[in-house]
Amino acid sequence: MRRSFLALATLLVVALPACISTSSTHATDAAAAAAASKVTGNAETRPVNLQQLNLAPARSGTYDPAKDPTVQVVQRVQPAVVNVTTDLFESSPFGGTQPGQGVGTGFIIRSDGVIVTNYHVVEHAQRITVITPTTAGSNGQSYSARVIGGDQSADLAVLKIDATGLPTVTLGDSSKLLLGERVIAMGYALALKGGPTVSSGIVSALGRVINAQDPNCEKACPGGGRKYSDVIQTDAAINPGNSGGPLLDLNGNVVGINTAGSGNAENIGFAIPINDAKGTILSAMENPGAAVAYLGVVTEDVTPGLAAQFNLPVTEGAYVVSTAPGGPAEKAGIHAGDVIVSFDGSKVTSSDQLGSLIHQHKPGDDVQVQIAGSSGGQRTVGVTLGVNPLP
């Protein structure tokens, strides 16, 4: 997933002991030769019969993995750990925007489809998809999701999908965590297929304060950086794609939200304490944001310079830079390079005005959009507005 990794400069020197064990007595050359001859003779006269060996897979010892607390937690929690993917537009190194994709993790806290994740997982999303894992009892399913609440500055987002009867996790009490306590991190690390990745470790520190760069957090993050206070440090591996996944105690309770790792140091990851997130989660569930109408375009104002650069047939309107994959505009046949000059009977003179006209409608409304194409002709298309994944 697109995520913020901390630049932690640490020099680690590991010394490997070079140990050589020697005998305190010495055999004569003759005795050594005689012993070697005896071993060789035995090997020649009594070859190993492989058919007499039992090579069947078997477990030995007293360890029972089914009773391992880590295994038990993973089996219980895994069905509620979901993959969160986004289609988004991000800044291009050559200027403007370009389409991209993000991958992160979330966990289900209410059976009707309320999900918690990091805000940076869904920032700038044009479409959010939640994919439940395949388990012994069910096949994975894909759902469209939208943000119903959260706190961008605290890197928290609460999502909603249309579903019922989903498995859930239990929110624990992060104030009772102890240094050295064993914890488990789950998430879709590196977007690898086959379900969530599991890593385990301990609580390495409590109350850390860290800063992480997030260039996509313009409004709530001064200087493009987000400050995290009172976070949990763990040596459980937290890699790109783990963002938004649960950090669990050995009772299977969520005690943190996996958020950041270090690209320059091993065994250092950070999680937001779940107690710090409970207020935001409760507020989103009690007062979910209303669904907002959505066209699925990124536009900019038509200026004389832009009109001359692209040889546009009009001098005002909203120039379509790109369309969201599978969004209402793309489905209706609106393309990058088109200019929207009218929306549902109202003249469009700027991108901001287009946004205001869209917000006057509700998801599901059918509208007529007039387009000026790059070839000079104009056309009108019918569009059914969708649901904006972000508030």
Catalytic site positions: 120, 155, 243
Judge residue 153's burial from the number of C-beta atoms within 10 Å of its C-beta, 0-12 exposed, 13-18 middle, 19 or more buried. middle
231 within 8 A of 205, measured Cβ to Cβ: no
257 within 8 A of 244, measured Cβ to Cβ: yes
List the alpha helices (DSSP H) in the chain.
29-45, 69-77, 119-122, 274-286, 304-309, 328-332, 351-359
Please tell me the distance from the alpha carbon of residue 245 to that of residue 84, in angstroms, as a whole number: 10
Judge residue 219's burial from the number of C-beta atoms within 10 Å of its C-beta, 0-12 exposed, 13-18 middle, 19 or more buried. exposed
274 within 8 A of 254, measured Cβ to Cβ: yes
172 within 8 A of 253, measured Cβ to Cβ: yes
250 within 8 A of 200, measured Cβ to Cβ: no
386 within 8 A of 363, measured Cβ to Cβ: yes
